[in-house]
Amino acid sequence: MTDVEAVDDGPAIRYDSDRPLPLHPLVYLADGEDVTVGRPDTDSYGIFPPDGAELVRRLEEGLSPRDAVAWYAAEYHESVDIGDVIAALDELGFIRSPDDPGTATAAPVRWRRLGAAVFSTPAWILYAALIGWALIAMALHRDLVPSYRNVFFTEYYTVVQATLFVVAIPQLLLHESFHALAGRRLGLRSRLSIGRRLYFIVLETSLDGLVAVPRRKRYLPIVAGMLADVVVMAVLTIAADLSRVAGGAFSPWGKFCLAFAFAILLRILWQFSFYLRTDLYVLVSTALGCVDLHTTAKRLLRNRVNRLLGRRDRIIDESDWHPVDRRVARWYSWLIVGGYTLSLTTFVLAVAPIVYQMVIGVLGRFTDTGATWAQLLDSAVFTGFILLQLIVLGWLAVRDRYRRRERRLHHVIA
């Protein structure tokens, strides 16, 4: 009796080559030129070539490693290093440990029925009706069209800043909840975490099991968050229109709704900043079957700039890039440039006027002898908030730069 030994940076993994491997139940999904193999109960997945996936399938069906090697040689007329295969399966957690003789079963996915209800036919009809109502209302009443001026629903800047910050939290949770519920209706588990894109703090929903779902079923979980944003924006617009008082002016509640709606619009526009790997980036990457489109597109842009400047020694070899990524990146890289352009345009047309009006208002209060104590206190607190944000952003920039320098130094020493 001989053993199969696989070494993977750690202790050797030994299995009897004449006995079947104790594998957990696995799922297989062919997608393009690759096959996704994984454990739904732990959300552990790996990408295999078709022949490798078939070899894993034979091992799961009960072939011993020795018989699987013989089957592979007869089927593909090539040899295979079964030790490397076993090491990869063990690293992915596909092999049961000796003290786990039973079959692992995935825990029931909670909120699956709620997810099915949120994206049911009646729900879609409701969403379409709300969005249509809001669009018609904006067409009939120009004062409902989003504008940066709507942000100033009160003369106190601290109230504007604090209120929009507070209400943004449940909106972010709703955005991510739609992602999660769209996945859970398919039986996928999800995790919520906090991340950062550039200088934006974001909430992120992880749906690892999405890789084992047919591609056409992945689109809704990816764009569900944007659907929530559009629906909430429509509801706020309708609420503002219904809140009008005598003479057609908006009530304080209506003004707040319009301010909140504009803040959500900025978040929707932010999704088009592809360079931040937003939901729309994931949608494009998934629809086209890419592996790492973002990295490939950035490298392609860098090569273009280096060629334009004549820096031939800095051009990165493109032969190792995934063929799909390389083909798509030739036109997608311009979307990255477009994302930067859109971000700059949004800042100039929407964010900068808000900041300018607030700064002018604050300075005017400090220099105006007629300002009330409430206005002066509001301006002082608002200024403190702004300075605190600038300090935090500066600290993040310095910290990230320090960490990058440490990594480069460590790489040179190693």
The enclosing H or E element of 53 equals helix 50-61
Q: What phi and psi values does residue 36 have, to the nearest 5 degrees?
A: -90, 125
Give the total number of structural domains in the chain: 2
Distance CA(84)–CA(206), nearest Å, equals: 29
| Residues with Cβ within 8 Å of residue 97, at least 6 apart in sequence | none
Same structural domain, 171 and 287: yes
Same structural domain, 178 and 77: no
Asked whether residue 390 is assigned to any structural domain, the reply reads yes
Distance CA(94)–CA(22), nearest Å, equals: 9
In percent, the amount of the chain with pLDDT more than 90 equals 25
The number of angstroms, rounded, from the C-alpha of 332 to the middle of its chain's C-alpha atoms is 18
Asked if residues 257 and 236 have their Cβ atoms less than 8 Å apart, the reply is yes
| Model confidence pLDDT, tens digit, residues 78-105 | 888 888 888 889 888 888 876 665 554 5
Same structural domain, 180 and 276: yes
Domain that holds residue 86: 3-91
**What is the structure's pLDDT at 8?**
44
Same structural domain, 347 and 242: yes
The residue-averaged pLDDT of 70-75 equals 90
pTM, 2 dp: 0.74
Same structural domain, 300 and 335: yes
The first and second tokens of residue 133, run together, are 């109502």
| Residues with Cβ within 8 Å of residue 329, at least 6 apart in sequence | 293, 296, 297, 300, 321
Long-range contacts for 177-181 (Cβ within 8 Å, ≥24 apart)? 177/228, 178/118, 178/224, 178/225, 178/227, 178/228, 179/205, 179/207, 179/221, 179/222, 179/224, 179/225, 180/111, 180/115, 180/205, 180/207, 181/111, 181/114, 181/115, 181/118, 181/119, 181/224
Same structural domain, 56 and 141: no
Which amino acid, residue 177? S
**What is the structure's pLDDT at 410?**
55
Same structural domain, 389 and 240: yes
Asked whether residue 99 is assigned to any structural domain, the reply reads no
| Model confidence pLDDT, tens digit, residues 143-183 | 999 999 999 998 888 888 889 888 988 999 899 999 999 98
